[in-house]
Structure 1
Amino acid sequence: MGSEPVDPRHVLDVHMLEMLVCPLTKTRLTLSADKSELISVAARLAFPIRKGVPLLSLEEARTIEPEEIQRHSR
Protein backbone atom coordinates (compact mmCIF):
# COMPACT_ATOMS: atom_id res chain seq x y z
CA MET A 1 0.00 0.00 0.00
CA GLY A 2 1.87 3.04 -1.22
CA SER A 3 0.73 6.58 -0.84
CA GLU A 4 -2.06 7.12 -3.33
CA PRO A 5 -2.67 10.54 -4.83
CA VAL A 6 -5.18 12.58 -2.83
CA ASP A 7 -8.29 13.70 -4.65
CA PRO A 8 -8.32 17.53 -4.37
CA ARG A 9 -12.06 17.36 -3.63
CA HIS A 10 -11.20 15.44 -0.46
CA VAL A 11 -8.94 18.09 1.07
CA LEU A 12 -10.31 20.37 3.78
CA ASP A 13 -10.17 24.02 2.78
CA VAL A 14 -8.27 25.83 5.56
CA HIS A 15 -10.34 28.98 4.97
CA MET A 16 -13.48 26.98 5.73
CA LEU A 17 -11.87 25.88 9.01
CA GLU A 18 -11.89 29.49 10.19
CA MET A 19 -15.70 29.54 9.93
CA LEU A 20 -16.36 26.26 11.74
CA VAL A 21 -17.04 26.00 15.46
CA CYS A 22 -17.70 23.16 17.86
CA PRO A 23 -21.40 22.24 17.76
CA LEU A 24 -21.42 21.78 21.53
CA THR A 25 -19.43 24.76 22.87
CA LYS A 26 -19.43 27.10 19.82
CA THR A 27 -15.67 27.55 20.29
CA ARG A 28 -12.97 27.45 17.64
CA LEU A 29 -11.77 24.12 16.24
CA THR A 30 -8.14 23.13 15.65
CA LEU A 31 -6.93 20.91 12.83
CA SER A 32 -5.08 17.83 14.10
CA ALA A 33 -1.44 17.35 13.11
CA ASP A 34 -2.32 14.58 10.65
CA LYS A 35 -5.26 16.66 9.32
CA SER A 36 -7.73 13.83 9.92
CA GLU A 37 -9.74 15.49 12.71
CA LEU A 38 -10.98 18.82 14.01
CA ILE A 39 -10.31 19.23 17.71
CA SER A 40 -12.51 21.06 20.20
CA VAL A 41 -10.29 21.69 23.22
CA ALA A 42 -13.19 23.17 25.19
CA ALA A 43 -15.44 20.14 24.64
CA ARG A 44 -12.58 17.61 24.71
CA LEU A 45 -13.83 16.12 21.46
CA ALA A 46 -12.29 15.23 18.10
CA PHE A 47 -14.50 15.34 15.03
CA PRO A 48 -13.41 13.23 12.04
CA ILE A 49 -12.77 14.60 8.58
CA ARG A 50 -13.77 12.14 5.85
CA LYS A 51 -13.05 12.86 2.19
CA GLY A 52 -12.48 16.52 3.07
CA VAL A 53 -15.81 16.85 4.91
CA PRO A 54 -15.76 17.59 8.66
CA LEU A 55 -18.37 15.50 10.46
CA LEU A 56 -19.44 17.86 13.23
CA SER A 57 -21.98 15.57 14.82
CA LEU A 58 -21.65 14.57 18.46
CA GLU A 59 -22.38 10.96 17.41
CA GLU A 60 -19.29 10.97 15.17
CA ALA A 61 -16.98 12.65 17.71
CA ARG A 62 -14.55 10.83 19.96
CA THR A 63 -13.50 11.92 23.44
CA ILE A 64 -9.93 13.17 23.75
CA GLU A 65 -7.66 12.09 26.57
CA PRO A 66 -6.19 14.86 28.81
CA GLU A 67 -2.65 14.36 27.43
CA GLU A 68 -3.91 14.83 23.89
CA ILE A 69 -5.82 17.98 24.88
CA GLN A 70 -2.62 19.55 26.20
CA ARG A 71 -0.91 18.99 22.85
CA HIS A 72 -3.76 20.74 20.98
CA SER A 73 -4.11 23.67 23.38
CA ARG A 74 -0.57 24.94 22.83
Structure 2
Amino acid sequence: MDAKLLEILVCPVCKGALEYRKAEQELVCQPCRLAYPIRDDIPVMLEDEARELDASEGEDA
Protein backbone atom coordinates (compact mmCIF):
# COMPACT_ATOMS: atom_id res chain seq x y z
CA MET A 1 0.00 0.00 0.00
CA ASP A 2 1.42 3.37 -0.99
CA ALA A 3 2.37 5.43 2.09
CA LYS A 4 1.38 8.72 0.45
CA LEU A 5 -2.06 7.35 -0.37
CA LEU A 6 -2.50 6.19 3.23
CA GLU A 7 -1.75 9.72 4.44
CA ILE A 8 -4.63 11.27 2.49
CA LEU A 9 -7.30 8.56 2.79
CA VAL A 10 -10.00 9.07 5.42
CA CYS A 11 -13.14 7.20 6.38
CA PRO A 12 -15.92 8.15 3.93
CA VAL A 13 -18.47 8.05 6.77
CA CYS A 14 -16.87 10.15 9.53
CA LYS A 15 -13.80 11.58 7.73
CA GLY A 16 -11.63 10.11 10.50
CA ALA A 17 -8.20 8.52 10.29
CA LEU A 18 -7.80 4.97 9.06
CA GLU A 19 -5.54 2.21 10.37
CA TYR A 20 -3.82 0.04 7.74
CA ARG A 21 -3.90 -3.66 8.57
CA LYS A 22 -1.49 -5.26 6.16
CA ALA A 23 -2.20 -8.91 7.08
CA GLU A 24 -5.94 -8.47 6.56
CA GLN A 25 -5.56 -6.12 3.57
CA GLU A 26 -7.98 -3.65 5.18
CA LEU A 27 -8.24 -0.03 6.22
CA VAL A 28 -9.99 0.22 9.58
CA CYS A 29 -11.97 3.10 11.05
CA GLN A 30 -12.19 2.46 14.80
CA PRO A 31 -14.88 5.10 15.59
CA CYS A 32 -17.23 3.69 12.91
CA ARG A 33 -16.15 0.07 13.56
CA LEU A 34 -15.77 -0.50 9.80
CA ALA A 35 -13.04 -2.23 7.79
CA TYR A 36 -12.65 -1.26 4.15
CA PRO A 37 -11.12 -3.93 1.91
CA ILE A 38 -8.05 -3.46 -0.26
CA ARG A 39 -8.33 -5.38 -3.53
CA ASP A 40 -5.43 -5.56 -5.97
CA ASP A 41 -3.71 -2.72 -4.03
CA ILE A 42 -6.79 -0.50 -4.47
CA PRO A 43 -8.75 0.55 -1.37
CA VAL A 44 -12.50 0.08 -1.80
CA MET A 45 -13.80 3.09 0.12
CA LEU A 46 -17.52 2.36 -0.15
CA GLU A 47 -19.62 2.00 2.99
CA ASP A 48 -21.61 -0.81 1.35
CA GLU A 49 -18.39 -2.79 0.79
CA ALA A 50 -17.07 -2.30 4.34
CA ARG A 51 -17.10 -5.05 6.91
CA GLU A 52 -18.39 -4.31 10.40
CA LEU A 53 -15.82 -5.09 13.08
CA ASP A 54 -16.68 -7.75 15.64
CA ALA A 55 -16.78 -6.81 19.31
CA SER A 56 -13.65 -8.94 19.79
CA GLU A 57 -11.68 -6.87 17.27
CA GLY A 58 -10.03 -4.15 19.31
CA GLU A 59 -7.65 -1.41 18.28
CA ASP A 60 -4.71 -3.81 18.50
CA ALA A 61 -6.23 -6.47 16.24
TM-score by length of 1: 0.74
User: Which segments of 5 or more consecutive residues in structure 1 lack a partner in the other structure?
Assistant: 1-11
How many residue pairs end up in the alignment? 61
Name the structure, 1 or 2, with higher relative contact order (CA <8 Å, separation 6+).
Answer: 1
1:47 aligns with 2:36: yes
Aligned equivalent of 1:69: 58
Q: 2:60 & 2:10 partners in 1: Cα distance?
A: 19
Matched residues, percent identical? 36
Kindly report the root-mean-square deviation, in angstroms, between the aligned alpha carbons of the 2 structures: 1.4
Structure 1 segments (4+ residues) deviating >6 Å: none
Choose between structure 1 and 2: higher strand proportion.
Answer: 2
Rg: which structure is higher? Answer: 1
**For the Cα contact (< 8 Å) 1:47–1:61, is it kept in 2?**
yes
Matched AA of 2:12: P
**Cα displacement (A) at 1:69:** 2.8
User: Which segments of 5 or more consecutive residues in structure 2 lack a partner in the other structure?
Assistant: none
**Cα displacement (A) at 1:33:** 4.0
TM-score by length of 2: 0.88
Choose between structure 1 and 2: higher helix proportion.
Answer: 1
